[in-house]
A and B are shown apart, each in its own frame.
Chain A
Amino acid sequence: MNGRRVVVTRRPVAVHRAARALGLDVDDDADDADETRRLMARQARIALSTVAMVVALLVGLPLLTAPGDWLWVTLALQPVWVALAVIQLRRAERAERRP
C-alpha cells in the first residue's frame, strides 16, 4: 500500500523484550513505536486545534453576545459543530494515510 510491511502475527511482548536484549530482530518493534509516537503527535495537534475552536466558541459566545441574540446564535452553532466535525474527520483520516 505505502511500502510498509503489514504485520500479520501477534507476538507476545516478552518475546520482543528477550529479542531486544539479545540484539535480535528489533527494527520492526522500534519502527512501530516510532511511528506511533509520530502519528500520535500529529493527531494530537489536529485534535487540539479542533477542541480549541469548540472551547473558544462555547466560552466566548455566551460572554460576548447579548442574551437577546442567543436564539439565533445557538441555532447557528449546530451547523458550525457539524462543519468542525467533518473537517476534523478529514484531517484525521489524511494524517493516517500519510506514510
Chain B
Amino acid sequence: MNATVGASAAGIAFVIILAVTVGTVRPRRYVTVAEFYVAARAVRPWWNGAAISSEFTSAAACLGLAGLIATHGAPMLWYPVGSAAGYVVILALVVAPLRRSGTYTLPDFAQWRLGSAALRRYATCHVLAIGLLYLVSQLHAAGVVLHLLTGLPPWTGWLTVSLVSVVVALAGGMCSVTSVQAVQYWLKLIVFAGVGLVLWYAWRYGAVGGPPEVAGAAAPAAGASLAGAGDPSLPGVLTVLLACALGTMGLPHIVVRVYTNPDGRSARHSIVASQVLLGLFFLLPPLYGILGRVHVPGAHEDQVVLLLPGKMLPGPAGDVLTGLLAAGAFAAFLATSCGVLAAVGGAVSACVTRPSVASFRIALAATAGAALTLTSLTTAGSSVLLVLLGFSLSAATFCPLLLLGIWWRRLTSAGVAAGFAVGGGLTVALVAGDLVGVKVGVVSQYPAPFAVPLSFAVMVVISLLTPGRVPLEVDRMMAMMHLPDDLASPSEDRSSPVDDRS
C-alpha cells in the first residue's frame, strides 16, 4: 500500500508542477482587461479545441461517468453521447454569431443584445450558480480521490486543487489557463487510454482472473438520482440527453473559450476540433465502466477507476498504473477548476465594478473561497450528478437566451428575465423539493423536459407582450452576428490586431 501512496503522490505532484510551470513560466504583460480575459484572442483552433475538450472532461467525465456505467449499467452509456451531441448543437446554432457579437461572457451577451444592465446582473447570478456547482463537484471528487489514494483527509484535496487553480488563473489570465488546459487534455488522453488498454489486455489475455464475460451489464441497477441524472429508466436517460444537448451551450467556461479565437470562422473550427478530441476521449468511460463492473463491483462512483489497477494487478505494476491515473485525475480537476474560475471571475468582476485586472483577481479569489465553503458544508456525492444538475439549469436558462437572442429579433429583456425566473426557478425548486422529500410526481423526477420548453415559451410570450423594449439597434446587431467576418462593419474589438500576437 505504501508504494501506491508513493506512486500516487508522485503523479499528483508532477501534474501540479506541470500546471504551475506551464501556467506561469511566461507571464505575458497584458495592456488591457480584454487581453487578460481572452488571451488577446490569438489562440489557434486546434490548441483552443484541446483546451475546450480539457475543460469539458472534468472529474465527472474522467472518473464519474465510468463509475456510473459500472454501478448503474448500460443506460449510462448514453451520457457521453449526449454530452458530445451538445457540441454539434453549439456549432450549428450558436458559436459563430456569438463570437462575432464580440461579447466576453454570457452576461455580457445578455446586456449587449438586450440593452439592460439589470439583466446582466441577473444573468451573472446564474453563471455563478452553475460555476459553483461545477467547482464543488470537482473539489469533492479531489477530496475523495486524495483520501482514497493517500489516506489524507479530504480537505487537503479541496485546498490543493483550489489553491493551484487560483495561482494559475491569477498569474496570467486566460492565456495561461488555455496552455494549462491544452497540455492537460493530451496528458489525460494518453494516461487514461494507455492505462485502460493495459488493464483491458491484462483482463482479456491472462494475467488477471475474474469472469471473462460481463454479466448483467444490460440490467439497470437502482441508485441515487438527481434531477433525472443517474436514473436508468428510459425517460431518465432521455431527460439527461436533452439537458446535455441543450445545456452545453450555456456552460460559462465553455462559451468563454469561444472568445479566445480571433473571429467567427476560427471559433467554428475550434468547436469541430474539440468535437474530434472529445469523441476520442469519450471512448474511454465505457471501457473503464465495463472493467469496473467486473472487477470492483459496489465501489463509490468516483473511486471505481482508481481502484481498478490495484485490484487487477497487485504489486509494482498496479502501483505505477494507479500513480498514472492519479495524475490524470488531478489534471482533470485542475483543468476544469481553472477554466470555471477564470470564466466566473470574469463575469462577476465585470458585473460588480468597472472591469479591471485587479477586480478580476479579487472576484476569482472570492469565487474560489465560496466554492471551498460550500464544499465543506456539503457531503461528497457523485460528481456526475452535480455536473448534470448544472447542465439542466443551463438548458433552462442560457439555452433559450442564446437561441432566441441570436435568431429572433423580437426578444426583449423582460422576456428573458421572466424565462430565467420560470425555467431556472422551476428546476431549482423541483430539485430542492426532491432533496427534502417533496415530490410532484413525474415533473420532480424529470425536470428538464418541463422546465426547458416552459422557459422558451415564457420568453417568447413575454417578449411579444413587451414590444416596446426591443432594442433600437437590433438590425445592426443581427448584421454583426450573422454577416461573415470580412463583410460586416468592424467595431471596437472584434479581432485582435495582427501585430499584437507575441
Query: With contacts defined as CB atoms under 8 Å apart, how many contacts are there between chain A and chain B in the complex?
Result: 130
Indicate if B207 sits at the interface (CB-CB under 8 A).
no
Indicate if A26 sits at the interface (CB-CB under 8 A).
no
- In Å, the complex CA distance between A48 and B491 comes to 29
Q: Is the CB–CB distance between B218 and A70 below 8 Å? A: yes
Residues from chain B with a CB closer than 8 A to the CB of A96 are: 484
Interface string of A57-75 (1 = CB under 8 A from B): 1110011000110110011
- In Å, the complex CA distance between A54 and B89 comes to 8
Q: A7-B489, A54-B245 are in contact. Are A93 and B265 (CB under 8 A)?
A: yes
Query: Smallest Cβ distance from B409 to chain A, in angstroms?
Result: 9
- In Å, the complex CA distance between A48 and B3 comes to 55
- In Å, the complex CA distance between A58 and B89 comes to 12
Q: Is the CB–CB distance between B279 and A81 below 8 Å? A: yes
Residues from chain B with a CB closer than 8 A to the CB of A67 are: 74-75, 218, 220
Interface string of A22-56 (1 = CB under 8 A from B): 00000000001101100110011011101100110
Q: Is the CB–CB distance between B241 and A88 below 8 Å? A: no
Smallest Cβ-Cβ distance to A7: which chain B residue: B489
- In Å, the complex CA distance between A50 and B85 comes to 11
Residues from chain A with a CB closer than 8 A to the CB of B217 are: 71
Scan residues 263-291 of chain B and give those whose CB is less than 8 A from a CB of chain A: 265, 268-269, 271-272, 275-276, 279-280, 282-283, 286, 290
Complex partner residue of A36 from B265, B269, B286, B475, CB under 8 angstroms: B475
Q: Is the CB–CB distance between A74 and B271 below 8 Å? A: no
Indicate if B294 sits at the interface (CB-CB under 8 A).
no
Indicate if A21 sits at the interface (CB-CB under 8 A).
no
- In Å, the complex CA distance between A48 and B93 comes to 8
Complex partner residue of B269 from A13, A33, A46, A89, CB under 8 angstroms: A89
- In Å, the complex CA distance between A51 and B268 comes to 16
Residues from chain B with a CB closer than 8 A to the CB of A35 are: 479, 483
Residues from chain B with a CB closer than 8 A to the CB of A77 are: 81, 84-85
Q: Is the CB–CB distance between A8 and B490 below 8 Å? A: yes
Interface string of B90-111 (1 = CB under 8 A from A): 0111001000000000000000
Query: Smallest Cβ distance from B392 to chain A, in angstroms?
Result: 16
Query: Smallest Cβ distance from B73 to chain A, in angstroms?
Result: 8
Indicate if A84 sits at the interface (CB-CB under 8 A).
yes
Indicate if B333 sits at the interface (CB-CB under 8 A).
no
Indicate if B238 sits at the interface (CB-CB under 8 A).
yes
Q: A67-B218, A86-B272 are in contact. Are A32 and B483 (CB under 8 A)?
A: yes
Indicate if B20 sits at the interface (CB-CB under 8 A).
no
- In Å, the complex CA distance between A78 and B241 comes to 14
Residues from chain A with a CB closer than 8 A to the CB of B31 are: none
Indicate if B82 sits at the interface (CB-CB under 8 A).
yes
- In Å, the complex CA distance between A71 and B217 comes to 10
Query: Smallest Cβ distance from B95 to chain A, in angstroms?
Result: 10
Q: Is the CB–CB distance between B245 and A58 below 8 Å? A: yes
Residues from chain A with a CB closer than 8 A to the CB of B234 are: 62-63
Interface string of B444-476 (1 = CB under 8 A from A): 000000000000000000000000000011011
Q: Is the CB–CB distance between B407 and A44 below 8 Å? A: yes
Query: Smallest Cβ distance from B229 to chain A, in angstroms?
Result: 15
Complex partner residue of A85 from B80, B275, B290, B479, CB under 8 angstroms: B275
Interface string of A77-98 (1 = CB under 8 A from B): 1110110111011001100110
Smallest Cβ-Cβ distance to B79: which chain A residue: A74
- In Å, the complex CA distance between A24 and B141 comes to 64
Complex partner residue of A81 from B75, B77, B78, B84, CB under 8 angstroms: B84
Residues from chain B with a CB closer than 8 A to the CB of A46 are: 92
- In Å, the complex CA distance between A57 and B93 comes to 18
Residues from chain B with a CB closer than 8 A to the CB of A84 are: 88
- In Å, the complex CA distance between A70 and B77 comes to 7
Residues from chain A with a CB closer than 8 A to the CB of B80 are: 74, 78
Indicate if B440 sits at the interface (CB-CB under 8 A).
no
Q: Is the CB–CB distance between A88 and B77 below 8 Å? A: no
Chain A interface (Cβ < 8 Å from any Cβ of B): 1, 4, 6-10, 13, 32-33, 35-36, 39-40, 43-44, 46-48, 50-51, 54-55, 57-59, 62-63, 67-68, 70-71, 74-75, 77-79, 81-82, 84-86, 88-89, 92-93, 96-97
Cross-chain pairs A/B with CB under 8 angstroms, 24 sampled: A8-B490, A13-B473, A32-B479, A32-B483, A33-B475, A35-B483, A39-B483, A40-B478, A54-B85, A54-B88, A57-B85, A58-B81, A59-B241, A62-B78, A63-B234, A71-B290, A74-B78, A78-B279, A81-B84, A81-B87, A85-B271, A89-B269, A92-B268, A93-B268
